[in-house]
Amino acid sequence: MTSFDLAAQPLRDLNRALHGIADGDNRTAWEILNPRGAHAVAVGVNQPVDITVKGNVGYYCAGMNEAATITIEGSAGPGLAENIMSGTVRVKGDASQYAAATGHGGLVVIEGNASSRCGISMKGVDIVVGGNVGHMSAFMGQAGHLVVLGDAGDGLGDSIYEAELFVRGTVKSLGADCIRKEMDEAHIATLAGLLAKAGFDADPASFKRYGSARKLYHFNVDHADAY
């Protein structure tokens, strides 16, 4: 275990060390102590290492993650795992705005609640939230999955493309061109796999599925009020 104490060492040195991990490096497990809400902790990691952050973090933790497994034993500020490419990011607490925004791949697990715009412009990332999500979550979601075990706020899936949304609780309102869809056996199997990967014990049949009505792909004057 490689331990890094942010109370004694600069954040810049931490990220420089993480970026310096080479193929075959035996420093495969990292522990980050005393993050104290620091911003941009463990950003741009591109090796399959395990990183545990012992506390709360600020903006953009685990941004642009590729291959690493990052666990935050606390809550996270805005922009958690922004533009994640692969790997896994897990938050034991809550996450603030636009978690996993523009994520291309990988898995983001938020065991608590996520604030507004969770998964905005998602492009292939899988996001599983144990609690609720705020307004405009999955706005312009292009690909991937958003799974919400709690409730969703206003404007869920506004202007959504081909991302799939699964919500177990209530949805305050759906955004433009987002509709409720059927849940067949294939969707239940997909959802069951996501729940298992995220470590949640929930019945996939208790969820509702939402996605694009595909009316906004091309401009149509009959739908002008929805743009």
- 134 vs 1, 194, 215, CA distance in Å? 37, 21, 24
Q: Is the pLDDT of residue 220 over 90?
A: no
Q: CA 109: distance to chain centroid?
A: 6
Of residues 223 and 131, more confidently modeled: 131
For the entire predicted model, the pTM comes to 0.95
**Residue 163, both tokens:** 């991302």
Q: What is the pLDDT of residues 98-142, one digit of tens each?
A: 999 999 999 999 999 999 999 999 999 999 999 999 999 999 999
Ramachandran quadrant class, 31 (left: phi over 0; alpha: psi -120 to 50; beta: rest): beta
Do 156 and 171 touch, CB atoms closer than 8 A? yes
In angstroms and rounded to an integer, the radius of gyration of the C-alpha atoms of the chain is 18
d(CA 119, CA 79): 10
- Convert the pLDDT of each residue in 8-56 to its tens digit: 999 999 999 999 998 888 889 999 999 999 999 999 999 999 999 999 9
pLDDT in tens, 142-159: 999 999 999 999 999 999
Q: Are 99 and 120 in contact (CB under 8 A)?
A: no
**What's the N-to-C CA distance of the chain in angstroms?**
52
Q: What is the mean pLDDT of the chain?
A: 95
Domains of the chain, by residue range, sit at 1-96, 103-219
